[in-house]
Structure 1
Amino acid sequence: MVNETLAATGPDQYTVLPGFKSFTLAMVQLGNITRDKLSNLQHTATMISKAACGDLAHPKVDVVMLPEIFNSPMECSAHAPNAEVIPEAVAGKPVTPAELPSSKISPTLHMLSKAAIDTGCWIIGGSMPEKAADAPAEGFRVWNTLTVWNAEGCMVAKYRKHHLYNVDVPGAITVRESDVITPGDTPIIVKTPFGTLALAICYDIRFPHFLSALLEQDPSICAYLLPSAFNHVSGPLAWEVLQRARAIDNQIYVGMCSPARDNTAEYISYGHSLLCAPNGTICSTPTPEDESETIVFAKLCPESLRTTRQWLPVGQHQRHDIYTRPHLKTRATEF
């Protein structure tokens, strides 16, 4: 059995990640999201509690993840009316429940904090619209913001979506997040009792250099987890492929949690929440109908990551001496 706390030195530098211990992740594929935010929050709290109870194969859940924009509808027009103030989370100084804005200003934060305390789980709080504390009554822009909560109900990190989804597929779907959302510029890497997590949101998955930069900064990252909401047009084409590609390329766990599909909504989410193992196989439990409201469980194990990297040590075969400018040189061939 591998010593999970073995220091990453010598030949094990790439195959053993310090601090990575087996843990169970529960992804809540949330449904019944309406324009009544308080009702949404009550329903979310119920689903978090249900997720924390696990199932027969996963009796102990350590981390619960929610989808992108879980507290209100996904369409851009709903972001400003549902935006809340979110305090800054400075590394090493979590925001305690007592330091949160009032429940009137930021009810979603209070729900997530209480849910973490009640369940004893870490919570990757999906994402939600965020506004500045001094935002005017109307006409303001928002951020699409992810929050992370420890088991004591403290907010330990927040992340604002970096890459904004602007797409126009004639006859299928048109979305322009940049019309209402301001992009973030600060990546986050979170140290948990179970391992080091890189976190992002949805469309960020399409940018491999982003994850590569995070791994270069901290090679102990064991998983890349993204609250997400691919739509019913892009989902069938890229949802599974992108997650498996990021997992295989980087030999880490990669998972995305989606809202349930609602065919009556203005923005129709794809569903199919899943987690990929470091070798690219899907290791999460299948959703009953793949698209309806459900909870998807998965276990993340150091042994799986270690074995994958021992069989094919991609990280040790990297040629950074030729990848990095100005060393990268190309030759143009003229005909």
Structure 2
Amino acid sequence: MINPRRAVRVAALQMISTPVLQQNLDMAERLVQRAAAEGAELLLLPEYFCLMGHKDTDKLAIAEAMGHGPIQTWLSEVAASNRVNLVAGTLPLKVPEPELPNATPRVFNSSLAFDSNGRCVARYDKIHLFCFHKGTESYDEARVLKAGDTPVVAELAGLNVGLSVCYDLRFPELYRRMGAMAGALDLILMPAAFTYTTGHAHWEVLMRARAIENQCYVLACGQGGLHPNGRRTYGHSMLVNAWGEVEAVQVDGEGVVMGTVDPAKMMDIRASLPALTHRVL
């Protein structure tokens, strides 16, 4: 099948973020420069790339209003100076409407996409908030985060890109909705900070399932190691193709996962197995 769209080089920038904002920005910039030098056009940072604090509430101190603040300025400048599309895993954005009196302050966990001119062209607020309790491990993002409610598809580097974050991966209906919005997705982005426990059990199988059922690529970018706050994240940043094959992966540590989103290959898969046209429900 002939497809006029060109292939796009993409990169996931795996990090081990710290509680120090500037350290994280310096680490991210090194990785952006490396990926750009190797020809990547669309780059993905992990969830919480800018801060993995000692406490959930630490992110409140660096929260920014949409369109203003040093983290967003940095993202814009780095995208423009390296001439790349840069999707910032997540950063905390302030909730504009007032919360209830005496309520714990909350923020959105937001993924922002910047084009190669440094313009913010899309925003996605994480819809599904992680909650997990097992033994000594306990997480409840709703204590500090406010859930978003709107699926987002952005056009980046000529691709229809579905924006999602971490725990969203477990909810396939989100990606069906995005596919309906776009006609079909070319690429799902999955910035994450999966725990080692849940990642070891479910990360790859969920990633491959989302690729197979939507017949599109998935670029996943994780936090990957032991953080100063004691949390251990799973890593395994990867690119999965529309047949469900893992084309590139980095198990742990700081690094860059490179690969190519090839629309022609994707359309061949859809032509030989037209599952998207066979949906009934």
Instruction: Specify if TM > 0.5.
Output: yes
Shift of 1:37: 1.0
- Note closer, same or farther for the CA distance 1:30–1:263 as it changes in structure 2 (3 Å cut): closer
Q: How does 1:165-314 map to 2 (within 5 A)?
A: 165-171=130-136, 173-262=137-226, 264-284=228-248, 286-287=249-250, 290-314=251-275
Shift of residue 297 of structure 1?
0.4
The 1:313–1:3 alpha-carbon spacing in structure 2 relative to 1, beyond 3 Å, is: closer
Post-superposition Cα deviations, 1:238-296, rounded to whole Å, max 9, x if no partner, equal: 10000100111111111210012125433221101011111100112x32xx1111100
Answering whether residue 13 of structure 2 is matched by residue 28 of structure 1, we say yes
Q: For the pair shown, which has the larger CA radius of gyration, 1 or 2?
A: 1
Aligned counterpart, 2:120: 155
- Whole-angstrom CA distance in 1 between matches of 2:30 and 2:74: 11
Contact 2:104/2:144 (<8 A) preserved: no
Between Structure 1 and Structure 2, how many residues are aligned?
277
Aligned to 2:41: 62
Name the CA distance, whole Å, in 2 between partners of 1:108 and 1:123.
Answer: 13
Q: Structure 1 length as normaliser, TM-score?
A: 0.78
Report the secondary structure of 1:143's partner residue: strand
Asked if structure 2 preserves the Cα contact closer than 8 Å seen for 1:143 and 1:183, the reply is yes
1:135 is displaced (CA, Å) by: 7.5
**Superposed displacement of residue 129, structure 1:** 1.2
Match of 1:76 in 2: 56
Equivalent residue number for residue 316 of structure 1: 277
Indicate the residue corresponding to 1:16 in structure 2.
Answer: none
Deviation of the 1:77 alpha carbon: 2.9
Q: TM-score, normalised by structure 2?
A: 0.93
Tell me how far 1:185 sits from its aligned partner.
Answer: 1.0
What is the one-letter code of the residue matched to 1:149? F
Does 2:34 correspond to 1:50?
yes
Deviations along 1:182-205, whole A, 9 cap, x unmatched?
Answer: 000121110123211011111001
Q: Give the aligned partner of residue 95 of structure 1.
A: none
8 Å contact kept, 1:28–1:64:
yes
Percent identity (aligned) = 27
Between 64-73 and 34-43, report the one with greater CA deviation: 34-43
What is the CA–CA distance in structure 2 between the aligned matches of 1:63 and 1:114, rounded to whole Å? Answer: 15
Determine which structure has greater relative contact order: mean sequence separation of CA pairs < 8 Å that are 6+ residues apart, divided by chain length: 2
Alpha carbons 1:201, 1:227 under 8 Å: kept: yes
Q: Which runs of 5+ in 2 are unaligned?
A: none
Note the residue ranges of structure 1 that are not aligned, 5 or more in a row.
6-19, 55-59, 88-100, 324-335
1: distance between equivalents of 2:279 and 2:188?
Answer: 20
- 8 Å CA contact 1:258–1:270 kept in 2: the answer is yes
Is the strand fraction higher in 1 or 2? 2
Equivalent position SS for 2:74 = helix
Equivalent residue for 1:118, pick from 58, 81, 86: 81
CA distance in 2, matches of 1:263, 1:152: 33
Alignment CA distance shift 1:134-1:248 (3 Å): closer
CA distance in 1, matches of 2:253, 2:152: 30
Cα drift, residue 310 of structure 1: 2.1
